Amino acid sequence: MALEIENLTKTYPNGVRALDGVTLSIPHGLFGLLGPNGAGKSSLMRTIATLQEPDTGSIRLDGTDTLKNKDAMRSTLGYLPQEFGFYPTLSGESTLDHFATLKGLHNGKERKAIVEGLLAQVNLWDARKKNVGGYSGGMKQRLGIAVALLANPSVIIVDEPTAGLDPTERNRFLNLLAEVGEGATVILSTHIVEDVRELCERMAILAKGRVVAQGNPEEVIGRVAGSVWRKVIGKDELAEYEARYRVISRRLIAGKPVITVYQSTDPGEGFEAIAADLEDAYFHAVGEA
């Protein structure tokens, strides 16, 4: 299903303008929504999920205005929020069965088959009798995606799903998400660039409530191609370089500060041209905002 978002705005009572004219076209498959904390990603996800009203704008799902007809979205939506809670003393199987009942799956035999199939799909079959309180963070996230997949949704929202996961669990969850994305429109909201780079054919970058870049990852990288330079500097030189150049990122490598700058011409002074990647494009776009 295609999701069309046009000129969405949202200002909270405390004066924070969380969404500022957001316009996006989200096709079938995996769509990455990148942005730093506070960029407006969660506000956008909550608005799409009909959990809050925008001030202005429209959201259409295959032509249906979901702000006026919320059931059109709710009937086909799977949502894995950034923060969710499970009853720790319930088993994974009982937890999923409980949510399946809430989803309206009242036929016991049918519900049992769906629950067992999802537990196998998210690789929790062997842990299905174990209490959720004993699950690792990655196991809880996989149980969360199983809940989101109940009733076979055509639109799935996952908000910061790999934050805090160790590399093994992150890789397992991303593989699962790639599989899910073959049969639905999946919006992956995250601040982790690698998640989007590895999974998504289309993406957007959000900063201060505005869309500052969108397209496929190659198109977004193309915005900075040929204009990214890197140099190892002394620790006491950082302020000087930041005053003279557009520094888009800085990090320590082997204890030495390394800066990356954006400039359309060779800055000289020992800077080395590098092939831009999605992280460079992200830092550039967020920095512009």
If one counts the domains in the chain, the total is: 2
End-of-domain residue from the set 214, 240, 259: 214
Amino acid 188: pLDDT: 95
Assigned token pair, 14 = 């405390």
Residue 90 falls inside a structural domain: no
Place of tokens 């400039």: 263
Residue 145 falls inside a structural domain: no
Residue 108 falls inside a structural domain: no
Q: What gap in Å lies between CA 135 and CA 169, rounded to an integer?
A: 12
Q: What gap in Å lies between CA 146 and CA 121, rounded to an integer?
A: 8
**Same domain as 281, residue 158:** no
Amino acid 126: pLDDT: 95
Q: What gap in Å lies between CA 275 and CA 106, rounded to an integer?
A: 55
Terminal-to-terminal C-alpha distance of the chain: 31
Helix (H) or strand (E) holding 23: strand 17-26
CATH number of the domain to which 168 belongs: 3.40.50.300
Residue 143 falls inside a structural domain: no
Residue 174 falls inside a structural domain: yes
End-of-domain residue from the set 214, 233, 257: 214
Q: What gap in Å lies between CA 61 and CA 50, rounded to an integer?
A: 12
Tell me if residue 39 falls in helix, strand or coil: coil
DSSP string, 203-249: EEEEETTEEEEEE-HHHHHHTTTT-EEEEE--GGGHHHHHHHS-EEE
**Same domain as 158, residue 284:** no
Amino acid 162: pLDDT: 86
Q: What gap in Å lies between CA 28 and CA 153, rounded to an integer?
A: 12
Residue 279 falls inside a structural domain: yes
Tell me if residue 107 falls in helix, strand or coil: coil
Q: What gap in Å lies between CA 171 and CA 223, rounded to an integer?
A: 29
Q: What gap in Å lies between CA 63 and CA 151, rounded to an integer?
A: 22
Residue 118 falls inside a structural domain: no
Amino acid 1: pLDDT: 67
**Same domain as 247, residue 161:** no
Amino acid 274: pLDDT: 96
**Same domain as 157, residue 70:** yes
Residue 104 falls inside a structural domain: no
CB 220 within 8 A of CB 35: no
CB 72 within 8 A of CB 66: yes
**Same domain as 64, residue 181:** yes
| Structural domain boundaries, residue 238 | 222-288
Amino acid 170: pLDDT: 87
Helices (runs of H) and strands (runs of E) counted in the chain = 10, 14
**Same domain as 227, residue 210:** no
pLDDT, one tens digit for every residue, the chain (289 residues)? 689 999 999 999 999 999 999 999 999 999 999 999 899 999 999 999 999 999 999 999 999 999 999 999 998 999 988 777 899 999 999 999 999 999 888 999 999 999 999 999 999 999 999 999 999 989 998 999 999 999 889 999 998 888 888 888 888 888 888 999 998 999 999 988 999 998 999 999 999 999 999 999 999 999 999 999 999 999 899 999 999 999 999 999 888 899 999 999 999 999 999 999 999 999 999 998 8
**Same domain as 232, residue 191:** no
**Same domain as 282, residue 192:** no
Question: pTM for this one?
Answer: 0.89
DSSP state of 86: -
